[in-house]
Amino acid sequence: MLEIKNLVVEIEGKRILDGLNLSVNNGEVAAIMGPNGSGKSTLSYIVAGKEDYDILDGEVLLDGENILEMDPAERAVKGVFLAFQYPLEIPGVATMTFLKAALNAQRKARGETELTTPDFIKRVNAAADKLEIPREMLRRALNVGFSGGEKKRMEILQMALFQPRFCILDETDSGLDIDALRVVADGVNALRSPDRTFLVITHYQRLLEHIVPDTVHVMANGKVVKSGGKELAVELEANGYADYKAQEAA
């Protein structure tokens, strides 16, 4: 389970997370919604271990263990996975090469045997086929010249391949066409399991019709300001964030 306690984060003196509390149980899919700039991506970066933030207070616990001192690779080995809102390009590095290096680095760090090339190719091809990613794309440099939707799909391919325990999806739905949205949602649903935790950041109820969340949390001004069930997302879709912004300002 993932627990975030009283997280206070600043960047260059500007407060971005301001005493955020959130817990997500094993097997649970939690949706995070909230206006632009409310700190959703920042939260995902903090959990994944990006530097350059001043963490003034709080804890991030995975199954009770505080991970804030670990570097991003160590957290990845513990099972943290972030599907980026804006995936990075790695010129000259074939997607296949990148995926194999990453998967084997994780396996090695966990004391598991590294996969041989044929084993690896079998796995990656199977995952690509499910997500309707053409195999030819795996030979291209990672994310270089990929369309917005292709990049998002590639993030989900990586998630499927690594089978992480703590998955954060940051606006994976933005940029996806209707068919891709279904394919990606199916990919995520296939990974749902009693010992896996999901944080799904999105602006749209549409995604949550495909990936039905157990809980929905509203973020505003660096805090979770309201939590509820899946009906909360429907309500937000109808009324927007006006109430929460006003509440904060008052």
Partner 1 sequence: MPAVQDTIDRVKAIDVDQYKYGFETILEMEKAPKGLNEDVIRFISAKKDEPEWMLEWRLEAYRRWLTMQEPSWARVSYPKIDFNDLYYYAAPKMNEAPKSLDEVDPEILKAYEKLGIPLREQEILAGVEPKNRVAVDAVFDSVSVATTFKKELAEAGVIFCSISEAIREHPELVKKYLASVVPVSDNFYATLNSAVFTDGSFVYIPPGVRCPMELSTYFRINEKNTGQFERTLIIADKGSYVSYLEGCTAPQRDENQLHAAVVELVALDDAEIKYSTVQNWYPGDSEGKGGIYNFVTKRGDCRGKNSIITWTQVETGSAITWKYPSCILRGDGSRGEFYSIAVSNGRQQIDSGTKMIHLGKNTTSRIISKGISAGQSENTYRGLVSAHRKASGARNFTNCDSLLIGDRCGAHTVPYIESKNASAVFEHEATTSKISEDQLFYCMQRGLDEEEAVALIVNGFVKDVLQKLPMEFAVEAQKLISISLEGSVG
* Window 57 to 96, contacts with ligand ATP (CB under 6 A): 85
Asked if 38 and 20 count as a contact pair (C-beta separation under 8 A), the reply is no
CB of 90 to partner 1, least distance (A): 6
CB of 182 to ligand ATP, least distance (A): 23
Distance CA 161, CA 157 (A): 6
DSSP state, residue 122? H
Q: Which one of ligand ATP, Mg ion, partner 1, none interacts with residue 19, CB within 5 to 8 A by kind?
A: none
Residue 202 makes contact with partner 1 by CB under 8 A: no
Residue 42 makes contact with ligand ATP by CB under 6 A: yes
CB of 226 to partner 1, least distance (A): 29
Residue 41 makes contact with Mg ion by CB under 5 A: yes
Token pair 């350059």 in the structure block, residue: 52
* Window 79 to 118, contacts with Mg ion (CB under 5 A): 85
Asked if 242 and 225 count as a contact pair (C-beta separation under 8 A), the reply is no
Residue 53 makes contact with partner 1 by CB under 8 A: no
Segment interacting with ligand ATP (CB under 6 A) among 9-17, 108-116, 144-152, 224-232: 9-17
Residue 92 makes contact with partner 1 by CB under 8 A: yes
- Residue of 180, 95, 182 lying closest to 135 (CA atoms): 95
Q: Give residue 74's region: left, alpha or beta (phi > 0; psi -120 to 50).
A: alpha
CB of 231 to partner 1, least distance (A): 33
Distance CA 112, CA 105 (A): 10
